[in-house]
Every structure is written in C-alpha cells, then in structure tokens.
C-alpha cells in the first residue's frame, strides 16, 4: 500500500517535471504568439502524450525491459526508483533552465538500474 502511494506521488512529480521540460519547448512559441491558449496547449500535450503511449509505448517498454536491463529487474520498488530518478534529473534541469530529453533521462535511470544490479546489457 505504501509503495503504491509513493509510486503515485513519484508519477505526479515526474509528470509535473515533464510538463516543465517538454511542454514549454513544444508549445511556447504557439502560446506566446497567441495561436493557442495555455489550456489548449496543455490539452493537446496530454492528448498526444496518451496517443503516443498507446500506439508506440508498448514497443518502447519491450525494448527497455529486454535489450537494456532484463525485465526481471523491474520490481515495483525498482520501477518507482527509476521513475524518481527520471523526475529528479528533469527537476534539476528545469531548475537550471537546461533543456533535457525525457526519454534520455529515462534511459539513463534504467541504465543506472542495470549498473546497480549488475545486469546492464
């Protein structure tokens, strides 16, 4: 139960930092030029995020959990840790105003799991 609550909190933390890292870069010019409103940009980001996760997310998960680190390493606690370190990396980059790729930080966190568990392929 505690891991579930922590996992939800970490997921919110990651989502907040993805929004700060990616949404501004993707929609900043359109919102700044008043082509779309902030709420429209947010809704588009959420919609296309879900569409991308639904259509190609399975392939990404399959690659990440077999080609980099074995799927057996992704216990619930390890998965929450990977999410946390992805969010922490994005948080630090957001604080310093340095653009960071969400996918690269996620791969980096998974590589960290592989190094920590000595199962990195």
pLDDT at 9: 94
Please report which residue ranges of the chain form alpha helices under DSSP H.
Answer: 2-18, 24-32, 38-63, 76-96, 102-116
Per-domain boundaries in the chain: 1-117
What is the percentage of the chain residues whose pLDDT exceeds 90? 44
Is the pLDDT assigned to residue 71 strictly greater than 90?
no
Please tell me the predicted confidence (pLDDT) of residue 92: 94
Tokens of 44: 């588009």
Burial classification of residue 33, based on how many CB atoms lie within 10 Å of its CB (0-12 exposed, 13-18 middle, 19 or more buried): exposed
Going by C-alpha positions, the residue among 45, 37, 44 that lies closest to residue 16 is 45
Q: How far apart are CA 14 and CA 11, in angstroms?
A: 5
């Amino acid at each position: 139960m505690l891991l579930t609550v922590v996992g939800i909190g970490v997921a919110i933390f990651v989502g907040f930092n993805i929004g700060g890292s990616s949404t501004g870069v993707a929609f900043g010019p359109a919102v700044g030029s008043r082509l779309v409103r902030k709420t429209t940009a947010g809704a588009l980001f959420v919609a296309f995020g879900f569409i991308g996760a639904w259509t190609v997310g399975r392939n990404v998960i399959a690659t990440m959990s077999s080609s980099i680190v074995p799927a057996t390493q992704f216990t619930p606690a390890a998965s929450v840790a990977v999410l946390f370190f992805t969010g922490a990396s994005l948080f630090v980059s957001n604080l310093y105003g340095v653009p960071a790729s969400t996918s690269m930080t996620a791969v980096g966190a998974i590589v960290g799991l592989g190094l920590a568990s000595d199962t990195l392929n």
